[in-house]
Chain A
């Protein structure tokens, strides 16, 4: 892990993103939306690709999420959530929605090699890629490597807790206790920061 001070400065800081989202919500500000689009749309797409969503569907979903951001921006409350948190929940919910529809229609062939995701970056790489050393990022880095790994496998690859146990070749109980320890620690760290 690198020292936090070695990190590149964020290109768009979280306060700025929050302000832009408020401008979209209050004034239908198109220029603000373009900046948000440039920042978030490629990240949402990359996030979905890592979650095994096929590229064509990832494009459609990213479009849906960005449209939802444009339409629902007035419900964003900057005192309650960071822009990235609010946008993450929209992306997550749309993904669940889409997964549900896809599950009803037909099951994706998981063995198709073109559908296999790129291996997830190791926990330490994710630290390197951090562009903003904000409080939540710091809290995440405060976890032990084992604890961070279970949290990241759930988010970045969308693995269920039993899939995480299979992947790490650990008993389910061990995975669950790592999750409990990780979340307990995050609760303490994040609680102190509020």
Chain B
């Protein structure tokens, strides 16, 4: 059963299945969620079937500049070891900073491709952040690490924010978000987040604008922490 609010808007699954998301960061977040969440997997599988039918219906135009036999000769010549996927090697290489987090393959591969070393920075009491990527329109793909029971004060968003739980859990009101769940917070949404008491919580987030805190003190906190 799909619980309201724990999966993404359908537009994201369509974008992922069609290979038409706007950035690599979006693909990494959505794919990581799909890898961890069976409702999301079902959604994408249905859409992949649509993709298959549309591929099958493509009008066939020009002849190809190579034949099946040329391709098979090429396959015979290439080293079978090189031909294998390098994916598993990449996935095995989890950064020390994420020790103890069971990473979805899409995120593990993304981190293996990114040359920058992952390190945690102070975000607030019991909160650490690590920025993975900044887009040209102010988007950020980042990791949040929070100690059990920590509260993230009441805030709004200048843009949308997708938060995928990788480890532990958090509460927003009476909704609990666990590993594989994603919260999609829009511009007009204000909320308080409380980290679950069961243990450390690690999330992957994609944020479009800055967070907006209500109190002037927290606004100062925001300037300080760069969120």
A137 lies within 8 A of B53 (CB)? yes
| Number of residues on chain A facing chain B (CB within 8 A) | 70
B53 (CB) vs chain A CBs: closest residue: A136
Known: A37-B71, A71-B83. A121 touches B46 (CB 8 A): no
| A185 CA to B67 CA, complexed, in Å | 40
Q: Give complex CA distance A96, B75 in Å.
A: 23
Q: Are B10 and A91 in contact (CB-based, < 8 A)?
A: no
What's the nearest-Cβ distance from chain A to residue B57, in Å? 5
**Contact of B65 (CB < 8 Å), options: A59, A87, A184:** A59
Given A33-B68, A59-B64, A91-B83 contact (CB < 8 Å): no
Tell me if B49 counts as interface (CB < 8 A to partner A): yes
Segment at the A interface, from B18-26, B90-98, B122-130, B173-181: B18-26
Given contacts A42-B64, A160-B20, contact A187 B52 (CB under 8 A): no
Known A-B contacts A43-B58, A70-B75, A95-B19; the reply to A155 vs B51 at CB < 8 A is yes
B residues less than 8 Å from A186 (CB atoms): 46-47, 50
Q: Which residue of B lies closest to A56 (CB)?
A: B65
Chain B residues within an 8 Å CB radius of A161? 11, 14-15
Q: Lowest 9 CB-CB distances: which A-B pairs, in order?
A: A84-B52, A85-B52, A37-B68, A154-B18, A88-B51, A88-B52, A43-B58, A42-B60, A92-B19
**Is A170 part of the contact surface with B, judged by Cβ < 8 Å?**
no
Nearest residue, chain A, Cβ from B13: A183
Question: Which of A38, A62, A85, A176: most chain B CB closer than 10 A?
Answer: A85
5 contacts between A and B (CB under 8 A): A42-B58, A43-B58, A67-B83, A92-B18, A96-B27
Q: Which residues of A in the span 95-139 have a Cβ within 8 Å of any Cβ on B?
A: 95-96, 99-100, 103, 121, 126, 129-132, 134, 136-137
- Docked complex Cα distance between A50 and B58 (Å): 9
Within 8 A of B (CB), among A126-170: 126, 129-132, 134, 136-137, 140, 150-152, 154-156, 158-162
Closest to A34 in B: B68
Complex CA gap A43/B71 in Å reads 17
Count class of interface residues, chain B? 35 or more
B51 touches A152 (CB 8 A): no
Q: Is the beta-carbon distance between B52 and A87 smaller than 8 angstroms?
A: yes
A134 touches B53 (CB 8 A): yes
- Mask, A163-194, CB within 8 Å of B = 1, is 00000000000011001100110110010000
In the bound complex, residues from chain B placing their C-beta under 8 Å from that of A47 are 54-55, 58
A residues 33-76 touching B (CB-CB < 8 Å): 33-34, 37-38, 40-47, 49-50, 59, 62-63, 66-67, 70-71
Task: Say yes or no: A176 contacts B9, CB within 8 Å.
Answer: yes
Which B residues touch A126, using CB under 8 A? 54, 57
Complexed CA–CA distance, A183 and B69 (Å): 40
Q: Does A4 contact B (CB under 8 A)?
A: no
A81 contacts the other chain (CB 8 A): yes
